[in-house]
Amino acid sequence: MIKENLKDIIKRSNNIVFFGGAGVSTESDIPDFRSENGLYKTKRNKSYSPEEMLSHSFFINHKEDFYEFYKSKMIYANAKPNLAHMALAKLESEGKVKAVITQNIDGLHQMAGSKNVLELHGSIHRNYCMDCGKKFSLDYVMKSKDIVPYCDSCGGTVRPDVVLYEEGLDMNVISKAIDYISKAEVLIVGGTSLVVYPAAGLLKYFGGNTLVLINKSATPYDNEADMVIRDNIGKTLWKALEE
């Protein structure tokens, strides 16, 4: 019955914004690194948490260890869009979804066909030289003969255009996200625990009619939602599209 309700909500609205987290991509076999147990050991046999290894200071001070972790644990180049990505792309093409706001860095929304995607944490597919600014593809980074990729023009370090811990989010992207959320009639939130700030704080800008939460575990916003669905995001969204 609850999915029929979601179907009705989607059917009557042409101003939907989707806000998603890691749970959207776990259905494409990209694990949420936060759920992993244990620590990562470097070649020097020192142990670090994923959060430490994905921090700005770790990147600056331990580039080889950073890239070993990044390439092996954060890059899933063969991942394909799942039903959630495809459903959202379809809803955008029908003029219903105005924007997809994502905390993910995998680019799967774009691969599925979504055009207006706001990437709060950047993308693995964009990389740039820290010295001259030259842009590089993910393929260049992964096929680099050195563990740390270097610019083929100036020799500077190439880094991914992703937001590391200790770094601020792109305020231009944040401003656009706030604008879409504040103007949305329906906000569908999926696959995020809503505990990571500042991204989770975006929900406070929503003043529309209907807040829908699709997540397998409880979130701090459950009591404020008009609908809470504890189920697979892809299956839930795709089911709501079926006639």
Catalytic (active-site) positions: 121
What is the full DSSP assignment across the chain? Answer: -HHHHHHHHHHH-S-EEEEE-HHHHHTTT---GGG--S-EE-TT--EE-HHHHTBHHHHHH-HHHHHHHIIIII--TT----HHHHHHHHHHHTT-EEEEEES--S-HHHHHT-S-EEETTEEEEEEEETTT--EE-HHHHHT-SSSS-B-TTT-PBEEEEE--BTS---HHHHHHHHHHHHH-SEEEEES--S-STTGGGGGGG--SSEEEEE-SS--TTGGG-SEEE-S-HHHHHHHHH--
